[in-house]
Amino acid sequence: MTSTERVGTEGAERVDVPTAVAPDTVVLRLSGISKRFGPVQANDDISIEFRAGEIHALLGENGSGKSTVLSIASGSQTPDAGTVEIAGQPLSTPSPRAAMQLGLGMAYQHLTAVAGLTVAENLYLGAPDERRPRYSQMHPWAAEQLAQYELDIHPTAPIETLSAAELQILEVVQALLSEPKVLLLDEPTTALGHADVQRLHALIRSLAQRGMGVVYVSHRLPEVLDVADRVTVLRDGASQGTYDAATMSEADVVAMMIGRPLELAFPAVATNTGDTLLRVSGLRGRRFGPVDLELGRGEIVGIAGAEGNGQVQFLRALAGVEPSRGDVTCAGKRVQLNTPPGAIRAGIILLSADRKQESIFTALSVRANATLQVLGRYARLGFVSRRRERAPVNDLVDRLRLKAASIEQPTQYLSGGNQQKVALMRPFLRGDLNVILADEPTQGVDVGARLDIYRALRDKAGEGASVLVKSSDAIELAGICDRVVVMSRGEIVDEIRRDELDESRIIAAIIGKGSTRLQEGESDDE
């Protein structure tokens, strides 16, 4: 008979987790997995064992084969060769349902919550038949599931009202409803701030301590090495080996991921910044304000804070996407922020965190996306010349080290890091660029592409632009920025200058200032 124990994060009601699996038992075994998509060998003879009671990280650049491994393990893809065993049982007929029945849970990077439904309805829909209560008991049952993981969300809340962090944690909660023996987490911290990351790590450590195997995929190497027991590195579809995490440094992991030694260094910060280029005075908007801030020419300024304290709304207000009131001047001229064109005319460009929805047109080519805002430069008598577009776009492909079959390749077929580089091409082609507003510029991007993006932002700053970066990664902010401001409850509450700027100082400022999530609808005057 299977016994259970109750686990959870500190202070939370505890959740039933099976403990019949002995520590170190193999709960997921991949043997000789190979998979090809046309000319691309996604996986090449990969064999990995994932054990009960451990957190096992799967690492690699975009395109290394991680996603294919996860999709094969979860039954979404059928391998060309090799076998999958879950809790000692073969996954003979691959399907997500069959994998779940054998004891595998999966929390996806691309969230599976169904729009138009409530939180309770989504949990009810995602629960296995044997765990699903009567429909009349759906709401109290959902409230119990949420309470176990300290999710302060009402079961009747529409999915559309949840923040990105809440949606991500809800995805993990839904994966745990089947009481899996092995849990696959695909980029679970992409949308999480520091506090939420620590909360998630506490939960998965508790699950591992009670016998669950956790497979953890993330581009955030410091987080991985902090939480993982073992790591397996993939490169070009092949395994580079499995190692104890305690014996690995970030430099070791990166060298294996890219196939060559790499010093993890950010581009040099500015020694001197120019005169004030952007001046914000008394700016207020939905969930933020009043905010006063100045950016100098050639300066990169970071925005830190616990998720939900107005950082995103402030950044989007500067781009004219969010309504606001107050005074903003750029290059000495007042900016009309009623609509995005007002900001664009002032040379203010937003790089949205939601690049597929707001930064690029996935159906268009690399070339078309890059030149979209400056078509007049390549037109003659009202007709755009592709020949005139190609030279500057090809130059940027080389400069940003973008990986694409050609500049005519649709961006939907590029990796996340290369899609972000395409979005970055637009500021490089604008001769009137003054300010780049970068919202999570390396979200879901592998380490090699991250360094290319950091260098690109620093290059634009070196040409005289100002860059305002909102990031939930304290290491990123400490490495790339000349200074960092910290927001809490919609206001700037601290400023960290370069001489004291490091990860621990940023985190201490976020925690010490008592950052608290603003409630939706809370007045900016409150």
Tell me the pairing of strands 182-186 and 348-351. unpaired
Tell me: the pLDDT tens digits for 17-72? Answer: 444 456 679 999 999 999 998 777 899 999 999 999 999 999 987 778 898 999 99
Q: Where along the chain do its domains lie?
A: 4-110+181-258, 267-347+432-526
Which top CATH class is 4-110+181-258?
Answer: alpha beta
Residue 514's CB is within 10 A of a number of other CB atoms, namely 10
* Sign of the Cα pseudo-torsion (230, 222, 356, 375, in order): negative
Q: What is the enclosing helix (H) or strand (E) of 176?
A: helix 164-176
Mean pLDDT of 120-129: 91
Mean pLDDT of 141-170: 87
Mean pLDDT for the chain?
86
Q: Pick from 281, 357, 309, 267: which is nearest to 472 by CA? A: 309
197 φ/ψ sector (left φ>0, alpha ψ -120 to 50, else beta): alpha
Domains 4-110+181-258 and 267-347+432-526 share a fold: yes
The count of residues in the chain is 526
Mean pLDDT of 516-522: 46
**Residue 74 DSSP SS3:** coil
The answer for residues whose C-beta is within 8 angstroms of residue 178's C-beta and 6 or more apart is 100, 105, 127, 128, 131
Is 267-347+432-526 in CATH node 3.90.850.10? no
Tell me: the pLDDT tens digits for 335-354? Answer: 998 888 999 999 999 988 88
Q: State the pTM of this model.
A: 0.64
Name residue 438's amino acid.
A
Tell me: the pLDDT tens digits for 407-423? Answer: 999 998 887 788 888 98
- Of the chain, the percentage scoring pLDDT greater than 90 comes to 46
For residue 501, pLDDT over 70 is answered with yes
The answer for residues whose C-beta is within 8 angstroms of residue 203's C-beta and 6 or more apart is 8, 9, 149, 172
Answer with the residue of higher pLDDT: 3 or 479: 479
Answer with the residue of higher pLDDT: 14 or 358: 358
The DSSP 8-state label assigned to residue 517 in this structure reads P
